């Protein structure tokens, strides 16, 4: 089990934050064995003493910042470094933490030349206390080595091939093969933060809510870190800053009279995304620590035909998405986040899946406020090879699930966990492997339904679907099958929905369906890759959805919200073009179709 909490750093009267964003020094290790940085101890002195450095913005992927193909396609370690200062009063009395919100894929962190911590896996945060590492009166140096290498036992899996045939390839020629359809962007993708708390502090909070009549029931558990004896005070505060319930126990239940529930905006256009705060105060000889956790009161349940939020049926009008944009790759970008939510709302989308990895907390916290529902997916994309299904990979998968639940458990927008995308679930080995993952996550969080995105077309040879609460099907009739033939989509899709429902008797979300369209390309009658075809294609699916959403279909998600970058390949013209928006977030024709459809369904017209 994980040793501590991972509360999102929030400022309060007892907590201070210094963000270490900006231009860092950067050097890719292009040495023959990709190991010069460790052999020559680049972290022991300034990085520029080791050789030439360039300037690199944090947060951002490093791949598309320069004009060098070598850096875009680099495999192995890169090194980041910058100076920072620690406020004097922090050094005297505070617990000082260095936190990295995402470093893809493997990271080792040094402070003033000494190793502070290491972490495996992008997309999820890690942190360490730095009090014993920092200097009081002079500047400090943080050095982060990040390695993007994926193996058959990383989550997600991948493989590095070294070509040995020196008559065809340069010596030690390395390429990274990735089995998933998005570019393996790397680097310090999200914030690097230095923050301070009292030495006895709020370490973790878990909130689980329920509804009884007009009451909201708030079960909470607080864990405290540090050594001093302490007392706690818990308060539920509403959006007008009124305290509406209080307690002194660190573990308990509070009843909220006339509770305002957290609703998706599509279900309550006048009262959505309502957030309370659990204000936790710890009082000890180390001082007072205050942490305010935003939460919402809501329930989620799957029946055998429906997905219920607050006991009312919810229908997902959504998308698969990516953290992806021009230049910054997967780098956190607030203007982009805001633009995306404005576009989602413009189209009437009430829901999306964080395909194919956990998104930044800044993104999810906006979803909670916008009343948009999230299916929170793990980074386990494309576990498809024989050698992925073994104990090493499984162990890693469980750690990732635990880190994901620890980070996102209190977010009201998250209504479901997606354990994986498109594993080879027709391989008998996937059965026991995934049973482990499902059992594990159900024990961690019994309050949310579970799913994974299914590529297998045959429910008769399916080994994992039996463990889910909701079936998520990724389907490409008319695109990867019967390419260009929109006229067969309806037959294929209805058969498919019936077959899967009949076998498993569980609600279904079509979690992917979509067609590439090059923005601006038109042909009538339509052909693949035109905007016309994308629109025709979607309409065929919608005709079927409109029949089954009155039965057991609980959601539809277009692949994809926006065009995104992939590895190079003969099927990918400058990336995957299945977006109904361009990568620059401007609409293709299909966006207007979706806007009309989603809002008509929301408004019941």
Number of helices (H), then strands (E), belonging to the chain: the values are: 10, 32
Q: What letter does residue 274 receive in the DSSP assignment?
A: -
d(CA 457, CA 466) in angstroms, rounded, equals 15
Among residues 140 and 421, whose Cβ is nearest to ligand GCB?
421
Least distance (Å) between residue 71 CB and ligand GCB: 24
Among residues 339 and 455, whose Cβ is nearest to ligand GCB?
455
Q: Which residues pair with 198 in a beta bridge?
A: 94
| Structure tokens given for 310 | 């607050």
Least distance (Å) between residue 451 CB and ligand GCB: 14
b/e code 66-96 from CB counts within 10 Å (16+ = b): eeeeebbebbbbbbbbbebebeeebeeebbb
| Structure tokens given for 382 | 């494309």
Least distance (Å) between residue 2 CB and ligand GCB: 29
Q: Which candidate, 354, 322, 355, 396, places its Cα nearest to that of 152?
A: 396
Least distance (Å) between residue 180 CB and ligand GCB: 6
H-helix segments, 479-575: 489-504, 531-548
| Peptide bond between residue 127 and the one before it cis (omega within 30 degrees of 0) | no
Among residues 234 and 465, whose Cβ is nearest to ligand GCB?
465
Least distance (Å) between residue 382 CB and ligand GCB: 8
Among residues 554 and 558, whose Cβ is nearest to ligand GCB?
558
Angle among Cα 20, 365, 345 to the nearest 5 degrees reads: 120
Among residues 95 and 330, whose Cβ is nearest to ligand GCB?
330
Measured at CB, which residue is nearest to ligand GCB? 181
Ordered DSSP codes for 547-600? HHTTTTEEEEEEE-SB-B----BTTBSSSB---SB-TTS-B-HHHHHHHHHHHH
Least distance (Å) between residue 183 CB and ligand GCB: 11
Least distance (Å) between residue 527 CB and ligand GCB: 18
Among residues 403 and 516, whose Cβ is nearest to ligand GCB?
516
d(CA 27, CA 77) in angstroms, rounded, equals 9
Least distance (Å) between residue 565 CB and ligand GCB: 11
Q: How many residues does the chain have?
A: 605
Among residues 143 and 456, whose Cβ is nearest to ligand GCB?
456
Among residues 140 and 422, whose Cβ is nearest to ligand GCB?
422
Q: Where do contacts with ligand GCB occur on this chain (CB under 6 A)?
A: 180-181, 356, 421-422, 455, 474, 512, 559, 576, 578
The answer to whether 421 touches 453, Cβ cutoff 8 Å, is yes
Among residues 54 and 518, whose Cβ is nearest to ligand GCB?
518
b/e code 364-383 from CB counts within 10 Å (16+ = b): bbbbbbbbbbbbbbbbbbbb
Residue showing tokens 């370490």:
203
Residue showing tokens 């073009």:
577
Least distance (Å) between residue 576 CB and ligand GCB: 5
H-helix segments, 73-121: 88-93
Least distance (Å) between residue 416 CB and ligand GCB: 17
Among residues 579 and 587, whose Cβ is nearest to ligand GCB?
579
Among residues 202 and 351, whose Cβ is nearest to ligand GCB?
351
Least distance (Å) between residue 454 CB and ligand GCB: 10
d(CA 381, CA 321) in angstroms, rounded, equals 14
């Amino acid at each position: 089990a994980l040793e501590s909490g991972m509360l999102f750093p929030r400022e309060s009267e007892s907590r201070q934050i210094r963000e270490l964003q900006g231009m860092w020094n950067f050097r890719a290790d292009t040495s023959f064995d990709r190991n010069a940085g460790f052999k020559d101890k680049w972290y022991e002195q300034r990085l520029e003493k080791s050789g030439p450095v360039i300037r690199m913005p944090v947060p951002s992927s490093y791949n598309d910042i320069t004009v060098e193909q070598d850096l875009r396609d680099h495999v192995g370690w890169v090194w980041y470094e910058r100076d920072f200062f620690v406020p004097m009063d922090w050094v005297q009395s505070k617990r000082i933490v260095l936190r990295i919100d995402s470093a893809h894929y493997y990271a080792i962190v040094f402070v003033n030349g000494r190793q502070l911590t290491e972490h495996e896996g992008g997309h999820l945060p890690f942190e360490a206390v730095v009090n014993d590492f920092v200097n009081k009166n002079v500047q400090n140096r943080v050095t982060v080595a990040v390695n993007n290498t994926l193996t058959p036992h990383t989550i997600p899996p991948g493989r590095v091939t070294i070509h040995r045939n020196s008559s065809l390839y340069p010596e030690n020629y390395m390429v990274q093969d990735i089995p998933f359809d998005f570019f393996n962007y790397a680097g310090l993708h999200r914030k690097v933060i230095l923050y301070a708390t009292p030495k006895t502090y709020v370490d973790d909070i878990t909130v689980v809510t329920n509804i009884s009549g007009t009451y909201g029931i708030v079960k909470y558990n607080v864990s405290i870190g540090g050594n001093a004896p302490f007392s706690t005070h818990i308060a539920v505060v509403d959006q007008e800053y009124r305290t509406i319930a209080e307690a002194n126990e660190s573990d308990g239940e509070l009843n909220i009279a006339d509770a305002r529930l957290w609703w998706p905006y599509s279900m309550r256009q006048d009262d959505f995304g309502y957030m309370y705060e659990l204000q936790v105060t710890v009082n000890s000889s180390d001082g007072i620590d205050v942490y305010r956790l935003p939460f919402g009161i809501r329930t989620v349940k799957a029946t055998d035909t429906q997905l219920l939020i607050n006991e009312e049926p919810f229908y997902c009008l959504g998308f698969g998405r990516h953290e992806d944009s021009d230049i910054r790759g997967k780098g956190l970008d607030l203007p982009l986040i805001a633009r995306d939510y404005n576009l989602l709302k413009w189209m009437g989308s009430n829901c999306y899946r964080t395909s194919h990895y956990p998104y930044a907390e800044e993104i999810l916290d906006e979803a909670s406020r916008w009343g948009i529902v999230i299916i929170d997916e793990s980074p386990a994309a494309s576990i498809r090879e024989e050698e992925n299904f073994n104990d090493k990979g499984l162990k890693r998968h469980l750690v990732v699930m635990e880190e994901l639940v620890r980070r996102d458990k209190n977010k009201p927008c998250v209504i479901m966990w997606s354990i994986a995308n498109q594993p080879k679930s027709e391989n008998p080995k996937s059965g026991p492997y995934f049973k482990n993952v499902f059992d594990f996550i159900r024990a961690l969080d019994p309050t949310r339904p579970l799913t994974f995105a299914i590529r297998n077309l045959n429910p008769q040879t399916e080994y994992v679907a039996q463990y889910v609460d909701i079936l998520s099907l990724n389907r490409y009739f008319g695109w990867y099958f019967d390419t260009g033939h929109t006229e067969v989509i309806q037959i294929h899709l209805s058969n498919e929905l019936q077959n899967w429902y009949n076998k498993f008797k569980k609600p279904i979300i079509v979690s992917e369906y979509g067609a590439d369209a090059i923005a601006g390309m038109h042909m009538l009658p339509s052909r693949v890759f035109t905007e016309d075809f994308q629109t025709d294609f979607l309409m065929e699916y919608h005709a079927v959805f409109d029949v089954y959403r009155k039965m057991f279909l609980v959601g539809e998600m277009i692949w994809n919200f926006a065009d995104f970058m992939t590895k190079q390949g003969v099927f990918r013209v400058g990336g995957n073009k299945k977006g109904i928006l361009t990568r620059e977030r401007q609409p293709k024709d299909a966006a207007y179709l979706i806007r009309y459809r989603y809002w008509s369904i929301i408004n019941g017209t």
